[in-house]
C-alpha cells in the first residue's frame, strides 16, 4: 500500500482502471510502471473497447509526483528514471488502441494534469481544479508539457505553468479544452462517464481505433521527446535550489 494500488475490472467491453495512493493519489515509480503496463496490456485485449481511468476515494484525483520519492533522488540516473515513469505512462496512453475516458472527481496537480490531458476525453466535477506548481520547487512540467499543450494550447500552458502558485478552476480547464463537461456532483459525473463508455463500447471498434490515430497525429516523435524532457527534469531535481525547496516543504 505504501507504493499505492491499482485495480482493473472489465465488464461489457469496458475496462475500468482505478489507482490509489494514500498521499492524495500521488504517483511513485512503481505505480507509474504498473499504469504503463496496464495500458499496454489493455491495448492488446480484444475483450476491451473503451477504458475508464479513475482514482479511488473522493479527495484529489492525483497529486502528481511522489514527494517522498523526489526527496530521495540522489543522482541523475535516479531522477531520469523517475520522470521517465510519467513519460512512459503518457506514451502508453497515447499509443493505446482503445479510447480512454478520464473520470476527474477532485483536484489535479503537476503530473496528474498530464495524466488527465493524456486521456482522450475527460469529464470532471467542480472540485477538479488544476495547478502546475513545479516551478516553485525549481523544476518544471517538462515531461507533461507536450500532452498538456496538445489539449489546452501554448497560451493556457504558459499561464498555468508560470502562475505556479494559483489554482485554476474546473470551469477554466473546461474552457481551455482539458475537460469536456463539468458536473456539480460525483453522482452526475459517474452517470455521464458510464453513459459515454456504454455508447463507445457499442460503436465500430475499427472506427474508434482509426479515430484514436487521427486524434494523436503528429505525436510520433514523443518517445524521443519525452525521454529528452525526463533528462531535463532529472538534472534539475538535483539542483541546490530544488533540494532546498523540497526540504522547506518537508519541514512545514
Q: What is the pLDDT of residue 226?
A: 97
Residue 2 has pLDDT above 90, yes or no: no
Contact, 240 vs 139, CB < 8 A? no
Query: What is the percentage of the chain residues whose pLDDT exceeds 70?
Result: 98
- State how far the alpha carbon of 157 is from the alpha carbons of 78, 132, 163, 190, 218, in Å: 27, 9, 10, 28, 19
Q: Where are the domains of the chain?
A: 5-187
- In angstroms, the CA 124 to CA 199 distance is 18
Residue 247 has pLDDT above 90, yes or no: no
Residue 105 has pLDDT above 60, yes or no: yes
Q: What is the pLDDT of residue 29?
A: 93
Query: What is the percentage of the chain residues whose pLDDT exceeds 90?
Result: 90
Contact, 120 vs 216, CB < 8 A? no
Q: What is the pLDDT of residue 212?
A: 97
Alpha helices in 50-178 (DSSP H): 67-72, 76-95, 111-117, 145-162, 170-176
Residue 222 corresponds to which cell in the numbers above?
514523443
Residue 216 has pLDDT above 90, yes or no: yes
- In angstroms, the CA 3 to CA 34 distance is 11
- State how far the alpha carbon of 149 is from the alpha carbons of 28, 32, 155, 157, 161, in Å: 24, 21, 9, 6, 11
Helix or strand holding residue 51 (H, E): strand 50-55
Contact, 151 vs 108, CB < 8 A? no
User: 3-state DSSP call for residue 99?
Assistant: strand
Mean pLDDT over residues 133-162, rounded?
96
Residue 251 has pLDDT above 70, yes or no: no
Which of 141, 160, 144, 42 is CA-nearest to residue 101?
A: 42
Contact, 189 vs 124, CB < 8 A? yes
The pLDDT tens digits of the residues spanning 49-73 come to 999 999 998 899 999 988 888 888 9
Which of 20, 45, 14 is CA-nearest to residue 193?
A: 14
- State how far the alpha carbon of 230 is from the alpha carbons of 18, 82, 163, 206, in Å: 25, 8, 22, 33
User: 3-state DSSP call for residue 145?
Assistant: helix
**DSSP helix, strand, coil percent of the chain (3-state; round to 5):** 50, 15, 30
Average pLDDT across the chain, whole number? 95
Residue 81 has pLDDT above 80, yes or no: yes
The pLDDT tens digits of the residues spanning 163-206 come to 999 999 999 999 999 999 999 999 999 999 999 999 999 999 99
Residue 250 has pLDDT above 70, yes or no: no
CATH superfamily of 5-187: 2-enoyl-CoA Hydratase; Chain A, domain 1 (3.90.226.10)
Mean pLDDT over residues 92-109, rounded?
98
Mean pLDDT over residues 96-118, rounded?
97
Q: What is the pLDDT of residue 1?
A: 54
Residue 252 has pLDDT above 70, yes or no: no
Residue 44 has pLDDT above 70, yes or no: yes
Residue 245 has pLDDT above 90, yes or no: no
- In angstroms, the CA 178 to CA 150 distance is 9
Which of 92, 98, 75 is CA-nearest to residue 14?
A: 98
Amino acid at each position: 500500500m505504501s507504493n499505492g494500488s491499482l485495480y482493473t475490472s472489465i465488464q461489457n467491453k469496458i475496462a475500468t482502471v482505478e489507482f490509489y495512493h494514500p498521499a492524495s493519489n500521488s504517483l511513485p515509480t512503481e505505480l507509474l510502471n504498473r499504469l504503463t503496463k496496464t495500458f499496454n496490456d489493455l491495448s492488446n485485449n480484444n475483450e476491451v473497447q473503451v477504458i475508464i481511468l479513475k482514482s479511488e476515494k473522493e479527495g484529489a484525483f492525483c497529486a502528481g509526483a511522489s514527494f517522498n520519492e523526489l526527496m530521495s533522488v540522489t543522482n541523475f540516473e535516479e531522477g531520469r528514471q523517475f520522470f521517465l515513469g510519467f513519460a512512459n505512462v503518457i506514451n502508453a496512453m497515447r499509443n493505446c488502441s482503445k479510447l480512454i475516458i478520464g473520470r476527474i472527481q477532485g483536484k489535479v496537480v503537476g503530473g496528474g494534469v498530464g495524466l488527465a490531458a493524456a486521456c482522450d476525453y475527460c469529464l470532471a466535477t467542480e472540485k477538479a481544479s488544476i495547478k502546475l506548481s513545479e516551478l516553485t520547487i525549481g523544476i518544471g512540467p517538462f515531461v507533461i508539457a507536450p500532452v498538456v499543450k496538445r489539449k489546452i494550447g501554448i497560451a493556457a500552458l504558459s499561464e498555468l505553468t508560470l502562475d505556479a502558485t494559483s489554482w485554476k478552476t474546473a470551469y477554466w480547464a473546461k474552457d481551455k479544452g482539458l475537460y469536456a463537461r463539468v458536473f456539480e456532483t460525483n453522482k452526475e459525473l459517474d452517470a455521464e462517464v458510464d453513459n459515454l463508455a456504454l455508447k463507445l463500447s457499442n460503436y465500430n471498434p475499427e472506427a474508434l481505433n482509426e479515430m484514436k490515430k487521427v486524434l494523436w497525429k503528429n505525436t510520433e516523435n514523443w518517445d524521443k521527446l519525452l525521454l529528452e524532457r525526463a533528462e531535463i527534469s532529472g538534472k534539475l531535481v538535483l539542483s541546490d535550489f530544488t533540494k532546498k525547496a523540497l526540504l522547506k516543504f518537508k519541514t512545514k
